[in-house]
Amino acid sequence: MIVYHIGENLEVGTELICNFKKNDSLILPFISSLETSLDSFKQLHNTSMYIRAVMRKSKLREWSNCAKWATEGIFEFIRRNEFRNAESRINTNFYYDNIELCKRLYKIDYVDSGDDPDENMSIFEIELDEFEFKKYDMSIYDDAYEFMENSEIEKAIDCARKYYSGESNKSIMEILSSKRAVVKSKLGKPI
């Protein structure tokens, strides 16, 4: 099946690696704390917010996204405990079934957010060894992320349940897959 992916420094023929950036090490402590208790999670989240403030003050902003890692921890905890057959966000790659979604996502994540995109960022056509998959609404994840920014943990947990149960606002529908995926062609810059 052909899908599309936003990435950088990929060559035709490259096989994508799940969890390429090894971000699971930033997410697993949040999952572990949720397994202990919601109070344990809140304590870790508060500690993370302090560390984030220190890092941002030290001009290490790009490493200080504790709301993202906490949100991912919540989503993985809910998936493991309530939606075991769903794909993990931690150990998958993210794809889209059309190029326009990739362009819209790029605009939201980089252009509109003010982040500085990598010069090598491109849209890639991917041959994915999967023919049946479930799509998830990224806007629900984004809502959870915003709730975590405001320490509204229970609302973020509700979002994880909505996401994995398939609720949708028909925003940017993402495909999660851990199946073999190979770059078929480089389609160029997202914008």
Residues 102-132: tens digit of each pLDDT:
888 877 776 665 555 566 678 899 999 977 7
User: What global pTM score does this model have?
Assistant: 0.85
Check if the beta carbon of residue 105 is closer than 8 Å to that of residue 172.
Answer: yes
56-63's contacts with Cβ under 8 Å and 24+ in sequence apart are: none
Q: Beta-strand (E) ranges in 35-180?
A: 93-95, 121-128, 135-137, 173-177
Cβ burial of 170 (10 Å; 0-12, 13-18, 19+) is exposed
Residue 156's nearest CA partner among 38, 24, 23, 50 is 38
Residue 175's nearest CA partner among 108, 96, 121, 73 is 96
Which DSSP symbol is given to 168? -
At residue 180, the 3 state secondary structure works out as coil
Residue scoring higher pLDDT (22 or 80): 80
Across all residues in the chain, what is the average pLDDT?
A: 87
pLDDT digits (tens, 9 = 90+) for 74-102: 999 999 999 999 999 998 999 998 888 88
Q: How far apart are CA 92 and CA 174, in angstroms?
A: 11
